[in-house]
Structure 1
Amino acid sequence: MNVLLTVVLAVQMISALVMIGLILVQHGKGADMGAAFGSGGSGSLFGASGSANFLSRSTGVLAAVFFACTLLLAYFGNAQPRTTGSSVLEGAAVTAPAPAVPASGAAQIPGSAAPASPAAAVPVAPTTTAPGAVPGPAQIPTK
């Protein structure tokens, strides 16, 4: 199976390169107008009109070969047996390290002591309110 896949891939690459060369050798439709005014470019190895037929037909054949190789490669790519999961990422089991907890503001100052735990760094609201003070969310009276 791997040998056939390699052969099809090689045929596709060779046909693509030869097709590129043939397309670059061909002249456009406007090139015949220059030959009509005496530039002398119409004489070639294949004759005045033979080169257009030969190059265009061989380009068409190479395009059909390239297309057939592309379809075969797509078929072989999907015909390989798959595992139980349909995702590529399911087969890769990578464990990520636990993220480091960034230091709080007091721990970033040199020479200061950092709190022992993050819970100790949170200030605790007083339970009683001063006269005339607005009660906080934990101090709202209930009926």
Structure 2
Amino acid sequence: MNVLLTLLIIVQVLSALVMIGLILLQHGKGADAGAAFGGGASASLFGAAGGANFLSRSTAVLATVFLASTLALAFLGYQRPQASSGSVLESVPAVPVTPAPGAAPAADSASQIPGQ
């Protein structure tokens, strides 16, 4: 169980970091106007329009992996072991309380309320 939890945490952190990098690599909507005046879009790695498609699709895939790992971690974190399903105090053995020798017996609490 711990190996699965560790593996899910590693997948989630790596997908988050790569997704951050891919989002930072993408151009905003205002970048198209700069490319029209010699922004160098034809010299990019994926061509003039291929980069946006590849980056947006890979970001969507990584977002899906991140969401799936988050849901799996939440599910595993919600699972409780069957042995300790109750309270911690239920496992403590009950010790009977005996009055000390020579102590006065406890009085009825209803008779000590003022005004009655």
* TM-score, normalising length: structure 1: 0.57
SS in 2 for 1:33: helix
**1:18 corresponding residue in structure 2:** 18
Whichever structure has more helix as a proportion of its residues is 2
| Percent of matched pairs sharing the same residue | 67
| 1:84 corresponds to | 86
- Tell whether the 8 Å contact from 1:35 to 1:42 is kept in structure 2 after alignment: no
Deviations 1:25-77 (A, max 9, x none): 11101101111123334530000000000000000000000000000000000
Contact 1:26 1:55 in 2 (8 A): yes
Shift of 1:83: 3.9
Residues 15 and 66, structure 1, Cα contact 8 Å, conserved in 2 = yes
**Structure 2: distance between partners of 1:40 and 1:71:** 41
For structure 1, which runs of at least 5 residues remain unmatched after alignment? 92-143
Q: Which amino acid in 1 is paired with 2:51? A: S
Please list, as runs of the form range in 1=range in 2, the aligned pairs for 1:38-77 lying within 5 A after superposition.
38-77=38-77
Moved segments of 4+, more than 4 Å? none
Distance, in Å, in 2 between the alignment partners of 1:54 and 1:76 is: 33
Q: Which runs of 5+ in 2 are unaligned?
A: 90-116
- Corresponding residue pairs, total: 87
Task: Report the equivalent of 1:115.
Answer: none
- Equivalents in 2 of 1:52, 1:15: separation in Å? 19
Instruction: Indicate the residue corresponding to 2:5 in structure 1.
Output: 5
Query: Distance between the aligned counterparts of 1:32 and 1:48, measured in 2?
Result: 10
TM-score (norm 2): 0.69
Distance 1:25 1:52 in 2: 10
Root-mean-square deviation over aligned CA pairs: 1.6
Q: Which has the larger radius of gyration?
A: 1
Q: What is the one-letter code of the residue matched to 1:84?
A: G
Aligned 8 A contact 2:41 2:47 in 1: no
Secondary structure of the 1:80 match is coil
